[in-house]
Homo-oligomer: A and B are copies of this chain.
Amino acid sequence: MRKKIVVLMILLLCIGFSLFAQEGEYTPSDALDMIWLFLGASLVFIMQAGFAMVETGLTRAKNSTNIVMKNLMDFCLGAIVYWAIGWGLMYGKNALGGLIGASDFFKAPMDGGRDAANFYRDWFFQVVFAATSATIVSGAMAERTQFKSYLIYTCFISAIIYPISGHWIWGGGWLSELGFHDFAGSTVVHSVGGWAALMGAIVIGPRIGKYIKSPDGKTSVKAFPGHSIPLAMLGVFLLWFGWYGFNGASTLSGSSPDIARVCVTTTLAASAGTIGALFTSWIWFKKPDASMSMNGALAGLVAITAPCGVVSPGASVVIGLIGGILVVLAVEFIDKVLKIDDPVGASSVHLVCGIFGTLAVGIWGNVEGTAVGLLHGGGFHQLGAQILGVISVGAWAAATSFILFKIIKAITGLRVSPKEEMIGLDITEHKAEAYTGFQIFSNM
């Protein structure tokens, strides 16, 4: 009897809270969501440092100021344009039949109410995702891109390319209505950035000396080792750390019990990805390769980003492991077979594993009502939606970024001169060495 009264009281209380909420009161549950998304977004922000360290560590010392400057500026320019334009295209009210959002540009409510607070919260959480997508490209076009051209590109991806396909999936657009599932952004963030990276690497062409044709017609492929493996490793750890915010806080609610599953699958997939890449490189190249292992960690993280909320720990190990193996194959294929010069393997990590992770939802998905994959009796329904999403977002991101790079190339030029490339972009673009005082062999 007493229990029934208590239960009744709590029910009444919950109704009361929700009534209040409808009327715009800021509830304890809002407060929890606020600090959850705030801290999650801060974690995602530090991924910028992770990208900067990975990319500078895996490229040559003579270009290391240039690459960290690109990482800094793509966030800064991206944040401004994403506030001005991007948010409205991504989360504004549906226009053109759900193809874009079209409201809330330059949004700036000045009241202290619940709606304003939640808008600011959501914007902060979204801008760091947009910046992640943009910064993927800097590594793929490293060591040969004009600084000013990169700044132009980054404005367009953050203002237009990323937000529009983002709208289709997270902004209530047409793909979300078809049941496409991308929990934290294997497609929305990583494959969009990955397509742009691949298109950029294709349009700008390989670095001088990368592919050399010998008189007998054979092409030899040169590797340019990075200048600081410890910094690159630091970057991997920072990215992994930030990824807990990326995947974890993508529950969007601090009250969601799913947070726990997400962090476990993220941890296991990243671990398995590293192991997969380590042993693949060990068996194939006869050495436990450091840069492959680091890319393996990132591959596992990218691959689990879409399915992290709907798969079992065992499946996350399998997904990560496949991601780790895949990234080694992709790096070799893109480098040696396609002869596309992506200095840090960005397209292998973010595009190839982003696609794989998106499809993984349709294979290993295991949560009734959210995403049920092939292996758990879901048939081809979910997998079909995932394939459709991969293709349509891929077509959008590849086409627009290809055209964008072509236009930039035609108007301002995309690439530095051969002489500048040989000297190094730190001196030629920024008039300063990165490591003043150190004896460095700049032709390395």
Contact = CB atoms under 8 A, between A and B. Distances in A.
A238 interface: yes
A399 interface: no
Interface string A88-127: 0000000000000000001110101110111111011001
B268 A83 contact: yes
Nearest to A10: B16
Interface in A58-85: 60-62, 64-65, 68-69, 71-73, 75-80, 83
Contact of A234 (B28, B52, B254, B313): B52
A379 B261 CA distance: 45
A333 interface: no
A287 B259 CA distance: 46
Contact of A288 (B15, B80, B293, B429): B429
A6 B10 contact: no
B108 A230 contact: no
A257 to B, nearest CB: 3
Interface stretch (A340-348, A351-359, A435-443): A435-443
Main DSSP-derived SS at the A contact region: helix
A437 B227 contact: yes
Given A69-B288, A367-B112, A434 B80 contact: no
A230 B433 CA distance: 11
A418 interface: no
A248 interface: yes
A71 to B, nearest CB: 8
A236 interface: yes
Copies in the complex: 3
Contact of A229 (B2, B26, B65): B65
Interface residues of A, number: 137
Contacts of A79: 267-268, 271
Contacts of A237: 46, 48-49, 52, 72
Interface string A200-236: 0000000000000000000000000111111101101
A222 to B, nearest CB: 13
A117 B261 contact: yes
Nearest to A42: B244
A21 B407 CA distance: 60
A166 interface: no
A77 B49 CA distance: 25
Interface of A: 2-3, 5-7, 9-10, 12-13, 15-17, 19-20, 26, 28-32, 34-36, 38-39, 41-43, 45-46, 48-49, 52-53, 56-57, 60-62, 64-65, 68-69, 71-73, 75-80, 83, 106-108, 110, 112-114, 116-121, 123-124, 127, 147-148, 225-231, 233-234, 236-238, 240-241, 244-245, 248, 254-261, 263-264, 267-268, 270-272, 274-275, 278, 285, 287-291, 293-294, 297, 312-314, 317, 366-367, 426, 429-442, 444
Given A10-B13, A77-B275, A107-B313, 12 more contacts: A6-B16, A7-B20, A26-B255, A28-B32, A39-B39, A69-B288, A73-B274, A73-B275, A112-B257, A225-B432, A290-B432, A438-B438
